[in-house]
Amino acid sequence: MSFPIHRLRRLRSSPALRDIVRETRLDPQDLILPLFIRPGKGEKRPIASMPGVFQYSVDELARALKEIKASGIPGVILFGIPERKDERASGAYSADGIVQQAAEAIKEKTPELMVLADLCFCEYTSHGHCGVIRKTKSGFVLDNDATLDLAAKTAVSQAKAGADVIAPSGMADGQVAAIRKALDSAGFQDTPILAYAAKYASAFYGPFRDAAESPPQFGDRSTYQMDPANAREALREVALDVEEGADMVMVKPALPYLDVLKAVRERFELPTAAYNVSGEYSMLKAAAERGWIDERRTVLETLTSIKRAGADFILTYHALDAARWLDG
């Protein structure tokens, strides 16, 4: 039977009713805050294309930890800007690399805060690509298997520094297996891997490349990141990472790929993350600054939609604001 017996508006008639029938709930515990770490002292540099986001030196990061801890956010993911870049991304796996220094500082100051270490090489290479580049007759290619050796070294270095979770994002074939083997051999068999399993070659990464100082110096990343037109391929990528030993998987970006996120959630049993990326963040910030949208409502609606599509947790630059609004 339908109207007038069934009136769906009955359950929307008051805040209390809407609350008790709400299907998806967002909580600060669902959020992970990305942090950009740079060399130097006393550095807290604003990122022009990402209002409210900063590059921190390690000493300034220590001051920010108080706010992060008080917010109820359970963890952060670290991205490093090294003092020097080279073709072999040596700053990524150095024992005193910038992410390693930050991880050690965080675990010393706030040991209960979970530290995820992004594992990619674009910030560390002089050419801005996510691995070892090999010259060919037709140009340049990313040398997949040589990159795996660097990924293995970097994962162990990050774990030794105190990273709780290793998060490989370079989209090299076989990277999860290489990292799992290296971690196990080094005694870090209990360190989980969060695989950026379905990472697309997206235009939404633009502001991040300003933040991480990592634009490619030639070409683009479409030979290793996924074609935005493909969804079935994402399920193959996730399946391979699961087979190789991933403990958690991620879809990146989030909003343009909610269909992919939902499909991954329905197909696989592993905890699933989504990365609400820099372009998604900056668009809302720009619109809010112009008074075109209500920032609080739009951000919370956005994050709720990502969780509703299947994300167990969300990496987002909105994390601190969202946590404050959710508790307010």
Q: Which of 41, 44, 135, 252 is catalytic?
A: 252
How far, in Å, are 46, 175, 176, 269 from residue 276 at the CA level? 19, 23, 22, 21
Place of tokens 């024992």: 95
| Spatial distance between the Cα atoms of 38 and 63, rounded to a whole number of angstroms | 15
Place of tokens 């993350």: 273
| Spatial distance between the Cα atoms of 239 and 220, rounded to a whole number of angstroms | 26
How far, in Å, are 39, 276, 322 from residue 171 at the CA level? 27, 18, 29
| Spatial distance between the Cα atoms of 268 and 14, rounded to a whole number of angstroms | 37
SS3 content of the chain, % helix, strand, coil (to 5): 45, 20, 35
Beta strand 248-252 with 272-276 is parallel
Cβ-contact 28, 54 below 8 angstroms: no
Decide if 252 is catalytic: yes
Decide if 41 is catalytic: no
Cβ-contact 102, 57 below 8 angstroms: no
| Spatial distance between the Cα atoms of 195 and 37, rounded to a whole number of angstroms | 21
Q: Which of 44, 137, 181, 199 is catalytic?
A: 199
A 10 A CB-CB count for 75 gives: 20
Specify which residues 124 forms β-bridges with: none
* Overall residue count recorded for the chain in this entry: 328
Residue numbers annotated as active site:
199, 252
